[in-house]
Amino acid sequence: MSIKSFFAIPFAKIATKKVYKWANKPHKTQEKVFKNLISKGSKTAFGKDHNFNNYYYV
């Protein structure tokens, strides 16, 4: 085993766990992403013009 693979394997395991965590709960993940996008978008000129903070739960 090379030194590169020795250090890469633990990082790959961490990344895999993170992917499985959100992949196993797609509805919750999409809701979280949606709320984050609306929250950030409500601070833009477009979001303010279209009242993102009034129409969507932030």
The pLDDT value given to residue 56? 59
The pLDDT value given to residue 40? 92
Residues 19, 23, 29, 30, CA torsion sign: positive
Rounded to 10 degrees, what is the CA torsion of 50, 42, 52, 39? 160
Using CA atoms, how far residue 41 sits from 5, 33, 58, in Å, is 41, 12, 10
Residues ≥6 apart with Cβ < 8 Å to 38:
47, 52, 56, 58
Q: Over the stretch 6-32, which tens digit does the pLDDT of each residue have?
A: 889 999 999 999 999 989 999 999 999
Domain ranges of the chain: 24-58
What is the pTM (predicted TM-score) of this model?
0.64
Tokens of 15: 């990344």
The pLDDT value given to residue 57? 58
In degrees rounded to 5, what are phi and psi of residue 42? Answer: -70, -15
